[in-house]
A and B are shown apart, each in its own frame.
Chain A
Amino acid sequence: GAVVSQHPSRVICKSGTSVKIECRSLDFQATTMFWYRQFPKQSLMLMATSNEGSKATYEQGVEKDKFLINHASLTLSTLTVTSAHPEDSSFYICSARMRGDNYGYTFGSGTRLTVV
């Protein structure tokens, strides 16, 4: 079945630094990838949608200059948290939609970001 790999699974960074999270579709072409944020014991909140080769579409309230999303190829999207602060600490999950698939969105295993 379709697999989405997300890396790293855990990362700790210092306040003020930037951190990049990768989301790869391993065995399919992902025309669209999505980035979610999940706070403890809460639901997933969509941050942005990225289509290959075009700029990401951000949800209202999400700072596009802080959360940089790049969808450089049909198998890779990256989320860079710039100038990270402790309040950016969260669980980030990506998902990918397979080309031609109207139903299936495969999720990555998530990244636990801790900013100290």
Chain B
Amino acid sequence: AQTVTQSQPEMSVQEAETVTLSCTYDTSESDYYLFWYKQPPSRQMILVIRQEAYKQQNATENRFSVNFQKAAKSFSLKISDSQLGDAAMYFCAYRRLYNFNKFYFGSGTKLNVKP
């Protein structure tokens, strides 16, 4: 079974600084999707970024980028120029390529942004 591990329960970053959230996963499959979701205090899950495993290029979305290391099964999220609105729970998630149903979520990392 696929498992997703986020080893940092909580992290803090100064506003305008850069922070990296870690995620590792375990799978025997070669093709899959990886995601980072943000859950602010409103509890609304918001897609931050996604990565297709067959793509070698790391995904980027404005201030958010990932470091995808397929061999190491690592998928970290870098947030540059952190803003107060980035404070939230961040969940790493894995989804199989051919099974549209199931996301495997990590346990989450709470990000605090200090002014």
Contact = CB atoms under 8 A, between A and B. Distances in A.
Nearest to B9: A41
A93 B101 contact: no
Interface of A: 32, 34, 41-44, 46, 49, 57, 91, 93, 95, 97, 102-105, 107-110
User: Majority SS of interface residues in chain A?
Assistant: strand
Interface of B: 33, 37, 42-47, 50, 91, 100-103, 105-108
B100 A93 contact: no
Contacts of A43: 91, 105-108
Q: Which 7 A-B pairs have the closest CB atoms?
A: A107-B45, A43-B105, A110-B43, A109-B44, A49-B101, A44-B105, A43-B107
Given A44-B91, A91-B43, A109-B42, A32 B101 contact: yes
Nearest to B105: A43
Contacts of A107: 37, 44-46
Given A91-B43, A109-B43, A110-B43, A34 B101 contact: yes
A52 to B, nearest CB: 14
Nearest to A112: B43
B100 A32 contact: yes
A50 B24 CA distance: 29
Contact of A103 (B42, B50, B101, B102): B50
Contacts of B37: 107
Nearest to A91: B43
A103 B44 contact: no
Q: Which of A32, A42, A43, A102 neighbours the largest number of chain B CB atoms within 10 Å of its CB?
A: A43
9 contacts: A43-B108, A44-B105, A46-B102, A49-B102, A102-B100, A105-B103, A108-B44, A110-B43, A110-B44
